[in-house]
Structure 1
Amino acid sequence: MAASDTALRLTDRAGAQAFVQGLLTVMRDLEAALARESEGVRAGRIAEAMTGTPAKAELAAAYMTGLEAAKANAIALARFAPEGLEALKAAQTRFAAVLEVNQQVLATARTVSEGLIKALAEEVAKTRTASVYGRPSHSPSPYGRGGANSGPLVFSRNL
């Protein structure tokens, strides 16, 4: 599917069937890429899961272009390839389910990582705050910096 597919006009059965098969192939490949990404993130192999991002972006662009062409040729598809149109509808339903799972996995990973960073920052702040008679206290600093905010939080992205 190239960018010129948005100007595609289906005028015969063979062209409609070829278009449907091409779009179904793109959808199947995009589903597989999303499923691999979801499984990698679930398993904690985030760097490995994200290696397919460029290919996924190309497939997503081809999918969007194909959808636009399908919308523009809806009447021709219904006329020349009604069984292909039904196959596209069924594939779209499957694709939506895979996409929803992928989005849930990514949202969960984002929430967990944000929680870990927040907990780490709080733990670091606790160790930097002195306690005098059971109350948190900040020692005076000749540099105007004191307390938990006196240094940067550093973490490794390679973990």
Structure 2
Amino acid sequence: MAATGRILDERPRIAGAGEARMLVETVLESLAALAHLVGEETELVRAGRLPEAMTREPRKTELAGIYMRGVEQVKLNAVALARFAPEQVKRLKEAHHAFQGLIETNQIVLATARAVSESMIRDLAADANRPMRANGYGPTATVGAGVFARPNSGPLVVSRRL
């Protein structure tokens, strides 16, 4: 995975088969590293290990940038790549397509985690704001008629590890 560390800032023009293969292989390596990291993040979120999943964000951003720069180079050299390395281009397209599926799964898992979190917060807020009345009090009570208990103002506990 040494190529994933290469920053693809230059925009060289591909002049031969060796350069074409090297460019595609470099982009494939960065895509593989990014896919691995996104897969890890997805599994961590699925397991409810959100803080650990969040630690992957800086590296994911870095790998995504490397991959996108590589894709730009591939676009700039599309004609040469099709001529010099058609099989590698086919592999790159297949890998990119598989990565799109992985991203869709990741987005579904993240959306589910977000929905569950929002639901928990809504339920917690509803419980915290629900007035608590003793059965012996209130307009329909026979003992202490007209006296209401204070709304539930007890302590609120929230776990930051969810």
* Length-normalised TM-score, structure 2: 0.80
- In structure 2, stretches of 5+ residues that fail to align are 1-5, 141-147
- In structure 1, stretches of 5+ residues that fail to align are 140-146
Q: Say whether residues 1:37 and 2:41 are aligned partners.
A: yes
**What is the number of equivalent residue pairs in this alignment?**
146
User: Which residue in 1 is equivalent to 2:92?
Assistant: 88
Structure 2 Cα separation of the partners of residues 80 and 54 of structure 1: 35
- Identify the match of residue 17 of structure 1 among 17, 21, 32: 21
- Name the one with the larger helix percent: 1
User: Which residue in 1 is equivalent to 2:55?
Assistant: 51
Contact (CA 8 Å) 2:8, 2:70: kept in 1 or not?
no
Structure 1 Cα separation of the partners of residues 17 and 63 of structure 2: 25
Displacement, 1:23? 0.5
Displacement, 1:133? 3.0
Which structure is larger by alpha-carbon Rg, 1 or 2? 2
Structure 2 Cα separation of the partners of residues 64 and 154 of structure 1: 43
Structure 2 Cα separation of the partners of residues 47 and 38 of structure 1: 13
- Identify the match of residue 133 of structure 1 among 134, 139, 145: 139
Structure 2 Cα separation of the partners of residues 69 and 155 of structure 1: 48
State the Cα RMSD in Å.
2.3
User: Which residue in 2 is equivalent to 1:143?
Assistant: none
Residue identity over aligned pairs, in percent, reads: 42
1:16-37 deviation per Cα after TM superposition (whole angstroms, max 9, x unaligned): 1001111000111111101100
What is the letter of the counterpart of residue 61 of structure 1?
G
What is the letter of the counterpart of residue 25 of structure 1?
E
Structure 2 Cα separation of the partners of residues 61 and 44 of structure 1: 27
